[in-house]
Amino acid sequence: MDSKKLDEIEEKQTIAILGAIVKVILVISLAIIMVSWGYSCQLSEETIQECRSACSSSDSQMSSVTNRECRCEKTPSSDWVIPRTKSTAPVLTPP
């Protein structure tokens, strides 16, 4: 083998090794990002209770809660309304 072929083989091996190192670094970085993202999604009972009490103090109820946001919705009214219907009986008038 001449030195030119050896140089080509060595260059291909170097490129393959560097490519593998880059892939390993990317996989580790993505794993760290996913773990930190998953940890940030955890919601404490204290946060839920704070949202619930904030909503109940404004005559509403908790709709949803995240680490960044508390949404309240108006409490549905429990008043029952009976609709008035027009009478179908004829109205009698004196002659």
Per-residue pLDDT band for 40 (boundaries 50, 70, 90) equals confident
87 backbone φψ class: left, alpha, beta (φ>0; ψ -120 to 50): beta
Can you tell me the mean pLDDT for 37-65?
83
Higher pLDDT, 6 or 76: 6
Note the pTM of the prediction, 2 decimals. 0.46
The 10s digit of each residue's pLDDT in 60-89 is: 888 888 878 889 888 776 666 666 666 565
- Residue holding tokens 């030119």? 4
